[in-house]
A and B are shown apart, each in its own frame.
Chain A
Amino acid sequence: MTNGEIVESFVVPVHPHTVLAPEQNEGWGRLRKAYDDAAKIIQDSGADLLIIYSTTWPSIIGHQIISDPNPEWVMVDHDFHELGSIHYSFKIDVEFAEQWNAENKSRGLQSRCVNYHGFPIDVGSVVALTLLNPENKIPAIIVSSNVYADRSETTVLAKACRDLVKRTGRKAVAITAMSLSNRMFTEHIDPKDDRIHSLKDDEWNQKILEFLSEGRLEDVGQLSRTIQRQIRVQKVVNFKPMWWLSAMNDNRNNLTGNVLAYEGIHGAGCAVVNLNPTPSGFGDKEYDEDDVEIFAGERGVLDSNTQQESKIETDDGPALWEPTKAEGSVNTDAAPKPVGAYPHARRVGDLIYLSGVGPRQPGTNEIPGGPIHDNSGKPLNYDIKEQTHAVVNNIARILEEAGSSLDKVLDVTSFLVDMDRDFQGYNEVWAETLGKVGPTRTTLAIRALPTPIAVEMKVIASI
């Protein structure tokens, strides 16, 4: 259940020429061939999910994720309308879209699912899905690119997705629909005369592709701001897709890279690049910035009202503490703050002992499924299954931080505040999650827990 993975990654171009006019220019034809080869690689990988981060779908309020099960329309490019129209009808994995959306929110990101008839799927996503998934065999996910997002926001977006892929056992392909250099000719050209806009753009593109062919994805991510300044027209803020793709691949630098094609489309640098997770021996490089799990804002203009409101709700609970740091302690921002002086976990030899884990969400302190009573103590209706799911997710995050994982859990002690009401729901979620791993278990009824939650688990796992 925790064996999901990114089985392949791709960088693909966005312009409609590869779909509508591959015969008009040899380079466009080679890009099309590379697209077709990429489709074969995807098919052979056994992938069950395609995830597209598209730079041609900008968003302003956080990120948007398509959740229409079957978006259908006709796409015409704003510039290259004379090439014709692309009819599309895609298959979207709505369940994954909704789960990712929820995961984004729990990590402090603004996020929205988009399910409206006639929503205009952007040109990059239309081209990529049309060519990479020609018979719609594999369900897809499309996410926008936020115009204001910088690195940490983009990284947290990817981590939310990557962890969900792992947790749900998916075999996913991560795809960025993007140009390298994005300067196009500003006049009409004869297709035969197409090339990369300038030598400078070409040289930078070649350097990026050299890195990618060596599997050095995180290096390209770390150069993103420089690349943006050198060869990018300021259509959006920063060269973000490499941050997303790198975080989707655990910020690694030793992937196996392969440039399938590199050509100009109306001057822009367009490449089809395959990145496979097999280690290529170039060695990992440490992440160069705060390795964020939760987005806490990196801009000074946020309308912070919503965040303040959710804080007020928790102000009445016990004070939150910074986790303690004695030898062997493992602490993570991906788990909720302790309500006393203790660490999230402590490692001894090959074993890891977790402090009691509840369902509270890191960052926001929200309780999925709702609190069991309000601030005055008046009982509220809550969802034990959602709370139990959130507990298991928190456990998974702490274990991952410690270099372990959910499938290495050995022993669990569970505490329920209302055994009669909640045992069945708790037990169902257990069966779908930890029950499949098979740790020993003891379940106790207790009078109360320090925060208004209904379930907590105490875990011992191996490393």
Chain B
Amino acid sequence: MAQGEIVAGCLAPHPPHLVYAENPEQNEPVAEGGWEQLRWGYERLRDSLKGIEYDAIVILSPHWQTYVGTHFLGLENFQSLSVDPIFPNLFRYHYDMNVDVELAQQIHDKADKAGLTVKMMTNPDFRVDYGTITTGHMFRPQWDKPLVVISSNRSSAYYSVEVMQEMMIELGKATREAILESGKKVVVLASNSLSHRHFTTESDIPEDMSKEHITSHAMHLWDMRIIDYMKSGQCQRIIDEMPEFTEQAIAETDGGAFTWLLSTLEVPNYPAILHGYGTIIGTGNAIVEWPVYKHKEA
């Protein structure tokens, strides 16, 4: 069997507001479509990967929050209705997704061997989190590739960002090894925003673009700094500064997805492609691709 490979890695945030704009018939009648910058960013990402062949998508979403280790969806198919508990007015989505259980189990086993606490999730009534659904939809609305869905262990809350990073770097390595051994071509997605301080009020039309901006200039500076590192291939610096970034920008990187992503990509030292950046109710969101296919693995 040929060796598997990670063909691309992406930072692919999950503001439900993006889907809202694309599925008005499911949602509030007032939808006027906002946040085009980010929706176009996702379009560019999809275009960029158009000619790239792959078998599966691996997602880590900060909204499947687990305190007892890292969990993996472990059944072939999940379908249900996902309603965002925080913005139910914006996001209600009927999903039907297939899981690559074999690959999930392989990553699970590798992580287990590496000493991480892991568990397969095999309850058929389980509702997949809205972060996974939103990222899944924005990345590939056809839903025609099986997914591996990994939970977000809350170790940064329990211990510190440093401990979280140690665990996520291990999980990233285990993910990578399992993918290489599987013989499959895979895209890995970290579903998180950068700076993550929300507004606490909402305008009458939620997507009123005259009201949208980053919550504070300090958050903007942090986001630009991290984006600069990504664009210039300095991902080790992102790992190094992750504790400060996560704390000061209240970044959604606390969920571990970003560190895990960088680890699966062996902390890239080549430039990433920035497909879009924009704020959503004050939080900073970047859509970024690491085109591994252009930097063929040894």
Q: Interface residues, chain A, CB within 8 Å of chain B?
A: 57-62, 64, 74, 76, 78-82, 84-85, 110, 112, 114, 116-120, 122, 146, 148, 183-188, 233-235, 266, 299, 301-306
Residue in B67, B122, B215, B281 with the greatest tally of chain A CB atoms within 10 Å: B67
Nearest CB in chain A to that of B208: its residue: A305
Q: How far is the CB of B254 from chain A (nearest CB, A)?
A: 10
The answer to whether the Cβ of B199 comes within 8 Å of any Cβ in the partner chain is yes
Q: How far is the CA of A148 from the CA of B283 in the complex (A)?
A: 14
User: Are A303 and B211 interface neighbours, CB within 8 A?
Assistant: yes
Residue interface mask B102-134, A partner, CB < 8 A = 1: 000000000000000101011101110100000
Q: Which of B43-51, B85-93, B171-179, B288-296 contacts A (4 or more CB under 8 A)?
A: B85-93
Partner of A186, one of B68, B126, B201, B282: B68
Select one of B69, B87, B122, B200 contacting A62, CB under 8 A.
B200
A301 adjacent to B154 (CB under 8 Å): no
Q: Does B209 contact A (CB under 8 A)?
A: no
A299/B68 in contact, CB under 8 A: no
Q: A187, B158: Cβ atoms under 8 Å?
A: no
Q: Are A303 and B199 in contact (CB under 8 A)?
A: yes
Q: Given the complex of chains A and B, what is the CA–CA distance between A188 and B158 in angstroms?
A: 16
Q: Is the CB of B121 within 8 A of A188?
A: no
A119 and B204 CA atoms in complex are apart in Å by 22
- 28 pairs of residues in contact across A and B, judged by CB atoms under 8 Å: A57-B85, A60-B198, A61-B199, A76-B123, A76-B127, A78-B64, A78-B66, A79-B67, A79-B71, A81-B71, A81-B122, A82-B122, A84-B123, A119-B85, A119-B88, A146-B200, A185-B68, A186-B67, A186-B158, A187-B68, A187-B69, A188-B69, A188-B117, A301-B215, A303-B200, A303-B282, A305-B211, A306-B204
Contact (A79, B200) CB under 8 Å given A116-B88, A186-B155, A301-B216: no
Residue on B nearest A189 in the bound complex, by CB? B68
Query: In the complex, what's the smallest C-beta–C-beta distance from A228 to chain B, in angstroms?
Result: 13
Cβ–Cβ contact B89 & A112, under 8 A: yes
In B37-84, the 8 Å CB interface with A consists of 64-69, 71, 80-81, 83
Known: A74-B125, A81-B126, A303-B211. A58 touches B65 (CB 8 A): no
Residues facing A in B125-164 (CB within 8 A) are: 125-127, 129, 151, 153-155, 157-158
Contact indicator B200/A299 (Cβ below 8 Å): yes
Q: Mark B203-236, 1 if CB is under 8 A from A, else 0.
A: 1100000010001100000000000000000000
Check if B85 sits within 8 Å of A122, measured CB to CB. Answer: yes
**Of B85, B119, B121, B198, which is within 8 A of A120 by CB?**
B85
A110 near B200 with CB under 8 A, answer yes
Q: Which positions in B face A, CB cutoff 8 Å? A: 64-69, 71, 80-81, 83, 85-89, 92, 117, 119, 121-123, 125-127, 129, 151, 153-155, 157-158, 197-204, 211, 215-216, 281-282
Q: Which residue of the partner chain B has the closest CB to A182?
A: B67
Q: Which residues of B contact A146 (CB under 8 A)?
A: 200
Q: Which residues of A contact B155 (CB under 8 A)?
A: 186
- Contact between A118 and B203 (Cβ–Cβ < 8 Å)? no
- A120 touching B211 by the CB < 8 A rule? no
Question: With the chains together, A301 CA to B282 CA distance in Å?
Answer: 10
User: How many A-B Cβ pairs are below 8 Å?
Assistant: 119
Whether B86 and A60, one on each chain, are in contact in the complex, defined by CB atoms closer than 8 angstroms, is: yes
Determine the main DSSP class of B at the interface with A.
Answer: loop
| B204: A residues at CB distance < 8 A | 306
A193 to chain B, nearest CB (A): 14
Given contacts A61-B201, A120-B127, A303-B211, contact A79 B158 (CB under 8 A): no
Chain A residues with Cβ under 8 A from B66's Cβ?
78-79
The 9 tightest CB contacts between A and B, nearest first, are: A118-B81, A85-B125, A81-B123, A74-B125, A76-B126, A303-B199, A61-B202, A119-B83, A116-B88
Contact between B201 and A306, CB atoms less than 8 A apart: yes
**Chain B residues whose CB sits within 8 angstroms of the CB of A302 once the complex forms:** 199-201
Q: Which B residues touch A74, using CB under 8 A?
A: 125
Q: Which residues of A contact B198 (CB under 8 A)?
A: 60-61, 148
CA distance in complex: A64, B216 (Å): 26
Chain A residues in 8 Å Cβ range of B281? 60
Q: Are A235 and B157 in contact (CB under 8 A)?
A: yes
Closest to A56 in B: B85
Q: Which residues does chain B contribute within 8 Å of A81, judged by CB atoms?
A: 71, 121-123, 126
Contact A59 B83 (CB under 8 A): no
CB A449 to nearest CB in B, in angstroms, measures: 29
B86:A58 contact, CB within 8 angstroms = yes
A85 pairs with B92, CB closer than 8 A: no
> Which residue of the partner chain B has the closest CB to A58?
B86
Query: Which chain A positions have C-beta within 8 A of B126?
Result: 76, 81
Q: Which residues of A contact B80 (CB under 8 A)?
A: 118
Once the chains bind, are B200 and A234 in contact (CB under 8 Å)? no
CA distance A154 to B202 in the complex (A): 19
Residues on B with beta carbons closer than 8 Å to the beta carbon of A85: 123, 125
Q: A417: shortest Cβ distance to chain B, in Å?
A: 30
Q: Supply 16 further A-B pairs (C-beta < 8 A) apart from A78-B65, A233-B157.
A: A57-B85, A60-B86, A60-B281, A64-B88, A76-B123, A78-B129, A81-B71, A110-B201, A184-B68, A186-B69, A188-B68, A188-B119, A233-B158, A235-B157, A301-B200, A306-B203
Closest residue on chain B to residue A74 by CB atoms: B125
Residues of A within 8 A of B121 (CB): 81
Residues of B within 8 A of A117 (CB): 81, 92
Complex-state Cα separation, A304 to B157, whole angstroms: 31
Could you tell me the distance between the alpha carbons of A114 and B127 in the complex, rounded to whole angstroms?
19
Decide yes or no: A184 and B67 within 8 Å by CB, A117-B81, A118-B83 being known contacts: yes
Q: Please, how many angstroms separate the alpha-carbon atoms of A62 and B119 in the complex?
A: 35
- What's the least CB distance linking A269 to chain B, in Å? 14
Option from B67, B86, B211 in Cβ contact (under 8 Å) with A59: B86
Cα of A299 to Cα of B198 in the assembled complex, Å:
12
Are B157 and A234 in contact (CB-based, < 8 A)?
A: yes
Q: In the complex, A78 Cα to B71 Cα: how many Å?
A: 9
- C-alpha spacing A235/B152, complex, angstroms: 13
- Bound CA span A235–B123, Å: 25
Separation of A82 and B71 alpha carbons in the complex (Å):
11
Q: Which residues of A contact B129 (CB under 8 A)?
A: 78
A64 to B83, CA, bound (A): 14
Least Cβ–Cβ distance between A447 and chain B, in angstroms: 36
Report Cα–Cα, A185/B155, bound state, in Å.
Answer: 11
Chain B residues, Cβ within 8 Å of A118: 80-81, 83, 92
Neighbouring A residues of B154 by C-beta, 8 Å: 233, 235
Question: Is the Cβ of A110 less than 8 Å from the Cβ of B202?
Answer: yes
